[in-house]
Structure 1
């Protein structure tokens, strides 16, 4: 336990140094690198269950405090572009799954679940129930999410320096630490308990957004934690995502061979094209569209959007809708895969 605590402390410290140095999404990016380094060269720690949910809740509630009722007025305008891009994402996820099946020695269900575009934690948890090898699924999703969380802040720094220089929002609004920190702790605990008994895809992030929105708009109007509170949440997510990319994950991804790298590149190209399409259909700039549509995890992309001050409430809402729709469709997609298997065997 003390080793986990030491690792988390070190990751948060690295994240704070990156943020202080002006690195884009420094809290998230610095902790991610610390996690990758620790997982590859020192030791891997697991943070499944309530630790990761606590990190999600801390980020989600800070984003929720930024939300206002205007979001619900503009959100319907993004539904049709989201449906279009999500449909293309799902279709191409199936195509990538079939390519991985043909290019590797993986069975069809494992290949399919490797390429399900989003909701990584939920996809990994149910993949075994459908007969897939959840170890390979976990390795590939970890590689995909780590790749995007690593790449997007760097891309923002190179191509959108005005966004990347924003950093964590400044401390504004109502804040009393003697009331604020116990309130944050209470919300985090409440989110964990609620998510345990009422489980839905993206539940921890969604519940935290709702509580933050309610408190910030009606209970304590203008309530806003200091910037470092959100930064610590981002660092926790970065550390817990990064450390998943350990030697075992690297070995499993390498066991799939070069096709796994090819599929990752396909996901990258798809994401870049979809972001361009989303930009054409909405008033959002390209980098915000990329954060809104890239299949790289709702929590991770919401954290990145928050750190870069790029519409984090809208990005979070669109990702949660995407994850929920994906899981509503997942049983039908699996049935389609089963029919394909029977057809090929027949």
Structure 2
């Protein structure tokens, strides 16, 4: 299978919880363990931003513009479907259909709508469908050789035992300081964007040079895959079946928009479709960038587009939600 550590952890935890209900209360990844993994992953993603990346950003104007436009279009289409066709109240519809910013959407839902669990379900369905389908998309489009290549890329990464004390100290320092500064500045997703920002700055200026670490990338796959699997195992499908159908239709609207634009951009720019797909598809910032890391695509390209969308969603969501009617009601 493509991305075996990631997919194995996801399906293993999900199936175990589904088959053995008493296990569900014990399934999950503790926050004290999950956050450091994401923080470290942020450092590795930031390390892909090299000095030559600065000159590449200006060449990404087409994909950046396309990503922003299609994000607006699929959000509008999803909102109209949920509000006009399915009768969701305006704020609930917007929080459910926004393609990204799941942490912010769920947090706002707890304060503004009764059915915050519906918002969480919509975002979970979107991330899971994208997360599961993308590795298989790689296998279908590029064949078995691409799957083998992705596993080889992981095997040839330096081991943690190949790092010297300076590199280990630098890794820990960038992770810790980046996270603390982001929290102090109240940046969204501080455990991810903080380390990415500081690590990117250090590598863009040539001050740092860190390799991707084999064991850490494997651990990140197990943790993120297991965390998603545990959330899936706890979803009470019988209670939310109607919402599950709406969430799936909403995901299809989102994916249809992004895949259409990705095909057009790939044809015009002669860039790999999968590379553009990973940069566009809203499957979660660290989930999708981890896939780019595992598959050997341009992680800086993918991470830059996802970071841009995260910032746009974070800045626009409070403005949009305050303009819509709706409040907590029984």
Q: Is the 8 A contact 1:192 1:204 kept in 2?
A: yes
2:7 maps to 1:35: no
1:324 paired to 2:311: yes
Q: Does 1:239 align with 2:226?
A: yes
In 1, the alpha carbon distance for the partners of 2:119 and 2:283 equals 14
| Distance change in 2, residues 1:86/1:38 (3 Å) | farther
Are 1:119 and 1:201, in contact at CA under 8 Å, matched by a contact in 2? no
2:40 and 2:195 in contact (8 A); partners too: yes
Which residue in the other structure is 1:139 paired with? 121
1:157 maps onto 2:139 in alignment: yes
250-259 or 29-38, which moves further after superposition?
250-259
- Alignment map for 1:101-140 (pairs within 5 Å): 101-104=83-86, 106-131=88-113, 133-140=115-122
**Pairwise mapping of residues 125-274 of structure 1 onto structure 2 (< 5 A)?**
125-131=107-113, 133-161=115-143, 162-167=145-150, 168-169=153-154, 170-172=156-158, 175-176=162-163, 178-181=165-168, 183-214=170-201, 218-221=206-209, 223-248=210-235, 250-251=237-238, 253-256=240-243, 258-274=245-261
Unaligned runs of 5+ in 1: 1-22
Over 3 Å counting, the alpha-carbon distance change for 1:246 and 1:224 in structure 2 is same
C-alpha distance 48-87 of structure 1, shift in aligned 2 (>3 A) = farther
Which among 79, 82, 85 is matched to residue 61 of structure 2? 79
Query: Could you give the per-residue CA deviations for residues 60-108 of structure 1, whole angstroms, max 9, x where no partner exists?
Result: 2122223211111111222343223322222221221221234445433
Contact map agreement 2:121 2:247 (CA 8 A) in 1: no
Distance change in 2, residues 1:155/1:213 (3 Å): same
Q: Counterpart of 1:13? A: none
Q: Deviations over 1:256-288 (max 9, x none)?
A: 253333222222322311211332453421011
Please list every run of 5 or more consecutive structure 2 residues that lacks an aligned counterpart in the other structure: none
Residue 236 of structure 1: CA displacement?
A: 1.5
SS of 1:244's partner is helix
Q: In 2, Cα distance between the equivalents of 1:257 and 1:211?
A: 39
Q: Are the structure 2 counterparts of residues 336 and 145 from structure 1 closer, same or farther at C-alpha, using a change threshold of 3 Å?
A: same
Q: Distance in 1 between matches of 2:69 and 2:267?
A: 17
With structure 1 as the length reference, what TM-score do the two structures score? 0.80
Check the 8 A contact 1:64/1:209 in 2, yes or no: yes
Aligned length: 317
Q: 1:313 to 1:81 in 2, by over 3 A?
A: closer
CA contact (8 A) 2:75 2:99 kept: yes
Partner-residue secondary structure (3-state), 1:67: coil
Relative to structure 1, the CA distance from residue 317 to residue 132 in structure 2 (aligned partners, 3 Å threshold; closer, same or farther) is farther
The SS at the match of 2:232 is coil
| 1:255 to 1:323, Cα distance in 2 relative to 1, 3 A | same
Partner of 2:50: 68
Q: Counterpart of 2:47 in 1: which secondary structure?
A: helix
Calculate the aligned-residue CA RMSD, in Å: 2.9
